Each structure stands twice: as C-alpha cells, then as structure tokens.
C-alpha cells in the first residue's frame, strides 16, 4: 500500500516551462490511486502545470484520498487544516495557492468537505477527475466546485495522452487501470459506494495505452482493477473476452517483457486466466488473491460467496498450472461475530496455503456498509491479540519463502538506483525487492542474478555471470 507518491518532473519539461504552475499530489491508499494521480498529472500538464516533489513549491495541492481504512476522513481533514494555514500565508504574499480533494473520501464526503473546510477549492470524485482542469478554472472565479456524480462519459476517453518524456521519467514499470468498481458488495467494504459498479475499459483503449507505455520505455505493466479479473470486453473475434484473453494479447506486444495484475476476487478466477498463468512466461508467477477469513460462517457474513474449501481447491488448481507461483492475500480479523473457533479456522487456512506475502488488518466499521449495522462487535483487545498472532504466522511464512529463494538464479528487471554506488534495485518475479551490484547494467535491463541473502524487506543478489566466472 502506498501512503504518498509525488510525481517526478521530466527535466526537459521543467526547463521549458519555468513559469508554469506547479502541482503537488499526495496519494493515499491503493495502486489504483497511484495510477489516478499520474493521470491527474497528465490532465493538468495540458493546462500548463508541472508536478513537484516539494509541497512548499506548489501552487496547487491535491489530496488523492482512500476510504478503505478507519478514520481515513479524519486524516484528510487534519491535512487540510495544515494546508489552510499555508493558503493564508500565500494570500498574504499575493500568491495563488489552491487546494483540491480527490479520490474516495471526496466521493464519500462530497459537500461536507467544503462545509468543514472552506479553504478547499475543488472536490472531485474518482470518476470525474478528467474534469479537474475545468473545475480549477471555475474555482479561480470564486466558485468552489464539488463534482462527485458518476460521469456519463468515459473519463479515459477525455484524459489527454501523456507526453512520452513524462512517461519515460516515471520509470520502466507502470500501472494500467483496466477495470473499476465492484458488484460484489462484501459487507465490510465501501468500494461499491465510492467507486461504483464494475466497469471495464474497452480492449482497444487498453492496447493503445499499453503500446504507448512500451514505446516510452516501460518494460513491465501491472493491470489494475478493484476486481481486475472481472474485466470483460468484446474481442476482435466478436466474442466476449476475459482477463485471460487480454493477458494473452498483451503478451504479444513487442518490448513488453513482464505482466502482472491486481486485485482479484476468487469468484472471477476462470479457466482462461489459470491457463494464462500456465502458458505465458511474461505473466509473473505472483498472485494476490484475497480470502479475508478461513471460517465459512464468517465468509458468509462477509458476503464473500465462496467457502474456505472452494478457495483452497482454487489455489490447488492454480499451483498445478504454475507450480512456482507465489500467493499473496488479504485478511480481516475481528469481523462482527468472529469467535475463537472462527479465528482458528483462518490460521488453519493460512497454514495450508503458505503465503509469500499478505496484508492483514483489524476490522473497522465503514459507515454505510452492512457490516457497520451488525451486532456482536469484537472487542478491540481481542482484535489486537488475534492480529498479532496472525501477523506472526504470515511474517514467518514470508521469511521462509524469502529463504527458499536463496541460491536461485532469477531474471531481475532493474528499476532504479540503490543507495550504494553501483547498486541497483529491481523486483523478483515474485514481487520482492532485490538489491544487486550491477555497475555494467542499465535501468530497464533484465539480467540473470543469483539470490545470496535476505533482509527484513528485501533480497540481495549478485549477477549470475560474475559467480560463474568466479
């Protein structure tokens, strides 16, 4: 999960537009919010804005918010209080300073944001951020804009295409949203209410963006969606294509070396997608497949519409198709009504699956969701004790998986310079951060390395050819 990202400024763009307005975008939450922040930067670039990594330099600050976790709105209002003071200082200096709130908190709170914090100029939901330039123009006339209606038009069609230089500056890996929204209505989740129903981007639109990314130097693309494997679109053969079909097509894009996707729902994991894991070497052997709990009773109360046994059988099928695949998952402990026996069922499921990584959280009520109305809430101290036990098990499994990688030779995509001279950081096929001394290689290269050690959050490697010469 990403707490903050600021968009890098291509050097040539910064020098060509010395008098441009500057925007600082703070991103909370998921990978899709990171993608949305990038696209908001693209939309504002067409209006003369350049991104900055320093909030103090910005003429516009956007908070791209997430509403998944408890007290998400409180964090936003706290940040807005600090921005209000910055706005007062700028006004005294006769300088423009605008504030915008975007994303899921914007969608959920709407008019309440400008009521509680009048310093805010624009509030834009996740389906309407393509209208951000127009909203800012209106706000400059003194009219605050709140736009949280679900757009009738396709926002992706209205967003400008990113300049090649801007895309290249963002690195050799990229997110690409293919699906938004959710129709599953899990009782703990706000996504159907903040992101809307499931909508898939058309195949041609996705392929066009993928080709432009690769043309700008991107070597790895991660397809994004709230339920990414619910993606559907008409294919060139006239039939309905699924995510598996899309992956087969993207695997043929020249220069695109690696594919990933997240986040998936077990109910949408169809045969074609499993076959793609079997057949496509460019599809990385890593799958984030949330289960949330191991108790059938709790899964039913969550409205997950699958049982623990069905989930385990699905894992078995996936591993049969791709034996080297690493599994990741999401877990919620302390859902209303969860007993000690229910929690033990979750621990047993974790033991049986063996996760390479996972995210785990205490249940927190989300206003407006069915879970918030349930009785039999679990005491906080019980939630904390259960979370501690679950995380201890998951961390052990993660460490065991990392140790199992030592001695393996893997292909490593080099993504960015490391902290030490000559050090480069990349990602393993299983999404682990890997540090390697690769002075003779360049960012974007894919080189064979041998894993030689593990750290708390990363692996260490040496180029495989160096070890063979030795």
Closest CA to 125 of 106, 141, 138: 106
* C-alpha–C-alpha distance, residues 275 and 251, integer Å: 13
Quick one: tokens of 391? 């995380």
For residues 69-90, one letter each, b for 16 or more C-beta atoms within 10 angstroms of the residue's C-beta and e for the rest, the string is eeebbebbbebbeebeebbeee
104 is in an annotated binding site: yes
Quick one: tokens of 170? 């963002």
Nearby residues of 360 by Cβ (< 8 Å), 6 or more positions away: 330, 331, 332, 333, 387, 390, 391, 394
* C-alpha–C-alpha distance, residues 363 and 375, integer Å: 13
Closest CA to 266 of 177, 200, 349: 349
186 is in an annotated binding site: yes
405 is in an annotated binding site: no
* C-alpha–C-alpha distance, residues 100 and 318, integer Å: 43
* C-alpha–C-alpha distance, residues 266 and 306, integer Å: 8
Helix axes 203-215, 243-250, angle to 10 degrees: 30
Quick one: tokens of 157? 């069609």
Residue in the block written with tokens 């291509």: 10
* C-alpha–C-alpha distance, residues 197 and 245, integer Å: 22
Closest CA to 120 of 102, 108, 103, 133: 102
Beta strands in 60-162 (DSSP E): 60-65, 98-103, 122-124, 145-147
Q: Looking at the DSSP assignment, which residues form a beta bridge with residue 27?
A: 64
Binding site for [4Fe-4S] cluster: what residues are annotated?
30, 66, 104, 182, 186, 189
Binding site: what residues are annotated?
30, 66, 104, 182, 186, 189
């Amino acid at each position: 999960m990403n707490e903050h990202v600021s968009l890098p400024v291509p050097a040539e763009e910064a020098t060509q537009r010395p008098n441009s307005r500057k925007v600082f975008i703070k991103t909370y939450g998921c990978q899709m919010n990171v993608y949305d922040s990038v696209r908001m930067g693209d939309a504002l670039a067409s209006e003369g804005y350049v991104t900055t990594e320093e909030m103090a330099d910005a003429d516009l600050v956007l908070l791209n918010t997430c509403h998944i976790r408890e007290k998400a709105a409180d964090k936003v209002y706290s940040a807005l209080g600090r921005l209000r003071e910055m706005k007062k200082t700028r006004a005294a200096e006769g300088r423009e300073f605008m504030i915008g709130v975007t994303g899921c908190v914007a969608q959920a709170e709407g008019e309440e944001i400008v009521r509680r914090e009048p310093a805010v100029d624009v509030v834009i939901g996740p389906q309407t951020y393509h209208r951000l330039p127009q909203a800012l123009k209106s706000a400059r006339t003194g009219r605050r804009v709140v736009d949280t209606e679900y757009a009738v038009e396709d926002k992706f069609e209205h967003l400008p295409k990113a300049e090649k230089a801007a895309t290249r500056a963002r690195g050799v890996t990229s997110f690409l949203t293919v699906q938004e929204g959710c129709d599953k209505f899990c009782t703990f989740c706000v996504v159907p209410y903040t992101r809307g129903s499931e909508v898939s981007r058309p195949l041609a639109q996705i392929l066009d963006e993928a080709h432009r990314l690769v043309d700008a130097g991107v070597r790895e693309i991660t397809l994004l969606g709230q339920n990414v494997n619910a993606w559907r679109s008409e294919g060139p053969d006239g039939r309905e294509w699924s995510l598996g079909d899309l992956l087969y097509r993207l695997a043929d894009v020249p220069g695109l070396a690696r594919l990933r996707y997240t986040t998936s729902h077990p109910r949408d994991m169809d045969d074609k997608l499993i076959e793609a894991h079997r057949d496509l070497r460019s599809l990385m052997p890593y799958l984030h497949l949330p289960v949330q709990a191991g108790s059938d009773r709790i899964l039913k109360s969550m409205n997950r519409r699958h049982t623990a046994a069905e989930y385990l059988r699905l894992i078995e099928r996936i591993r049969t198709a791709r034996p080297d695949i690493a599994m990741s998952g999401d877990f919620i402990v302390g859902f209303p009504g969860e007993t000690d026996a229910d929690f033990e069922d979750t621990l047993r499921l974790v033991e049986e699956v063996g996760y390479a990584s996972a995210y785990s959280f205490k249940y927190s009520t989300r206003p407006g969701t069915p879970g918030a109305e349930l009785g039999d809430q679990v005491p906080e101290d019980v939630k904390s004790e259960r979370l501690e036990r679950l995380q201890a098990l998951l961390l052990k499994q993660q460490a065991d998986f990392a140790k199992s990688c030592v001695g393996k030779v893997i292909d490593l995509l080099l993504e960015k310079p490391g902290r030490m001279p000559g050090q480069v950081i990349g990602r393993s096929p299983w999404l682990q951060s890997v540090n390697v001394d690769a002075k003779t290689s360049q960012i974007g290269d894919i080189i064979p390395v041998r894993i030689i050690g593990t750290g708390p959050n990363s692996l260490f490697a040496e180029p495989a050819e160096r070890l063979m010469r030795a």
